[in-house]
Structure 1
Amino acid sequence: MQHLEDRFNKRFGYPWVFLNEEEFDESFKTAVKGQTSAPVSFGLIPRDHWFQPEWIDEERATQGRMEMKAANIIYADNVPYRNMCRFNSGFFFKHPLLQPYRYYWRVEPDIQYFCDVTDDPFDYLRDNKKTYGFTISFYEWEKTIPTLWATVKEFMNLHPEYIAAENAMNYLSDNGGETYNLCHFWSNFEIADMDFWRGEAYTKFFEFLDSKGGFYYERWGDAPVHSIAAALFIPKDELHFFRDIGYRHEPFQHCPRGEDWMRGRCSCNSYDTLDYAPQSCISRYEKMFH
């Protein structure tokens, strides 16, 4: 929070919204309010938006977690992590505290911002008709989402009307959608338009995915879910790579280069950036526009 206040929000004064499945204690609230002069609100996540639904087959879910743990997959047996992924996929934008807002900037614990953000990214999205902004893009771990793409293809066959004409399928697939190449935008950083998540296409898409139980039977993350939806249901021109925002979430970072680095007074090493590393999908993303 201090990083984002110092590098951006002390100039803009945007309100902060904190959400949790338990009530925040007073010491946390006091500490948070001490970091900003902007408005701060604290909200409780509705129980049915967070906890594993009753209809999930717990025996099957337990078996899935055990298999992932045996394969040494991160968060393999972690149910709260799955709750978080499902919440961020389908519910955060429905919270009463977020209803006054159209755009959001997602902020997670233990992140770093390296550069001054002097231009308003919300204005940028609105003025340039952009819907979804990211800084880091790389490959998902296939073992966490073994049936996700088959489920996506099933949805696309049922609802071809939701697929945008100038979509970003070439970012997601190397063979026209037959298989998923695992590229996704890392959703711990997102600056995006909640009207998209609240719209008909995404609502139907999330409900369809949720009905399959993959958030619990496997470990579907909100990053591939958001990324696949954004790549398919909006024109690719509505996606935006915030290359001037220096950002780190362990163990990866995006550090701007050249003019962006100078203008932002960045503190990161511009050569220490995931952008064109072997596991990055940025070159695939950029290829769509050339």
Structure 2
Amino acid sequence: MDDVPKAAAAVAAVKLDQDDQQVIAPHDNADEEYKRLTDATLPRVKAAFVVLVRNSELYALRSSMRYLEDRFNHKYNYPWIFLNEEPFTEEFRNMTSMMTQAEVHYGLVPQEHWSYPDFIDQEYAAQCREDLAAEDIPYGGSESYRHMCRYQSGFFMLHPLLDDLDYYWRVEPGVKFSCDIDYDPFRLMQERDLKYGFTIALREYKATIPSLWKTTLDFAKSHPQYIYPRTRPDSLLRLVSDDNGWSYNLCHFWSNFEIASVKYMRSEGYQSYFKYLDEAGGFFYERWGDAPVHSIAVALMLKQSDVHWFYDIGYKHDNFEHCPTEEKWLTNSKCYCEPSTSFDYNLGSCTNLFLDVMNKPASSFIVTRPDPEDLPLL
């Protein structure tokens, strides 16, 4: 651990390049922006929903599709991309394609992206799984979960079906969307030059990532050109470290919902980070998840204006739910979720930390507007 102080310092000591010094122009008139964001007649942004899914998850996926189609996509018809490590059945293709008027695409995960690389000791990896399973760590003993996390961390964005996309919206089977989405999140990403968007932020199980931060600091030390300077006021480092980079606070964006830039996820910086982590073996010897990997990369490589909290998109995955709690017209007229169930202000949430880092109230992330009949609720 002797190199940790030096590596942490590397996070802080990076020089600015020309792009870092550019000043982002303020958004133009908000009313004009909202008109564009809600204009379904404009040419679609180059974007799609991307789902890693198995044939056995067909009905849970159809439920997710129904929510998104009803809440948003019936107006915009963004395509769906389904990826699987096994060939999709004819039943799966037929029963998913009938859920949408949009294009649907079915892709196979390359075998080399869902198998052990040569540098992994599979016997040791099996023992590590047994050890974590004995500690009752969620998915601690699962081999397939590790392949999934590795794939979601660094490979899915490289699939040829994403070649023509500027943005993707990751969707999982069995999720719920509880608010009407009357604007185009993809266009918002494009108009504001955003790189990453999320709904839920929470803390990771420490036992699953004991060496992830040390490995990250080693990467930062050896690849300082990819690290956004910690000393800049718009740095995001504080999202993942409470002590200026010495340790990881376990906060991460839950990546089962993320809207992100394909260009960023395919960038030399991000892919170099993933390759470095991959070669360290933590996806198999520990249980590194794609959510902390994505989130740490965002915090180290991007700046505040690159990230957006989709506060007005109600979302539920398993027992974790994001539900807008303000403004009253938003909660009462555009959403059906119960505000008191929102995980945002739970002790395990990192939402308050995000707002503190951004120095903004939650309401500043509201993009949607009240309908005329909602005005009495203001």
Same fold (TM over 0.5): yes
Preserved CA contact (<8 Å) 2:128 2:285: yes
Amino acid at match of 1:192: A
Q: Is 1:94 aligned with 2:158?
A: yes
- SS at structure 1 position matched to 2:257: coil
Q: Distance in 1 between matches of 2:331 and 2:289?
A: 35
Q: Is 1:192 aligned with 2:260?
A: yes
Amino acid at match of 1:167: S
In structure 2, the residue matched to 1:288 is 357
Q: Is 1:85 aligned with 2:155?
A: no
In structure 2, the residue matched to 1:217 is 285
Preserved CA contact (<8 Å) 1:173 1:180: yes
Preserved CA contact (<8 Å) 2:119 2:279: no
In structure 2, the residue matched to 1:255 is 323
Runs of 4+ deviating beyond 4 Å: none
Amino acid at match of 1:130: L
- Structure 1 residue 194: deviation in Å? 1.1
Q: Map 1:1-290; keep pairs closer than 5 Å.
A: 1-165=65-229, 166-259=234-327, 261-262=330-331, 265-290=334-359
Unpaired runs of at least 5, structure 2:
1-64, 360-378
Aligned residue-pair number: 290
Deviations 1:197-237, CA, capped at 9 Å, x for gaps: 11111011011000011000000000000000011101122
In structure 1, the residue matched to 2:23 is none
Task: Indicate the larger mover: 157-166 or 16-25.
Answer: 157-166
Preserved CA contact (<8 Å) 2:331 2:339: no
Preserved CA contact (<8 Å) 2:154 2:274: yes
What TM-score does the superposition give when structure 1 sets the normalisation length? 0.98
- Structure 1 residue 54: deviation in Å? 3.2
Preserved CA contact (<8 Å) 1:244 1:264: no
Preserved CA contact (<8 Å) 1:8 1:117: yes
- SS at structure 2 position matched to 1:42: strand
Amino acid at match of 1:172: V
Q: Distance in 2 between matches of 1:30 and 1:127?
A: 35
- Structure 1 residue 55: deviation in Å? 2.6
In structure 1, the residue matched to 2:363 is none
- Structure 1 residue 59: deviation in Å? 1.6
Structure number with bigger Rg: 2
Q: Distance in 1 between matches of 2:236 and 2:284?
A: 28
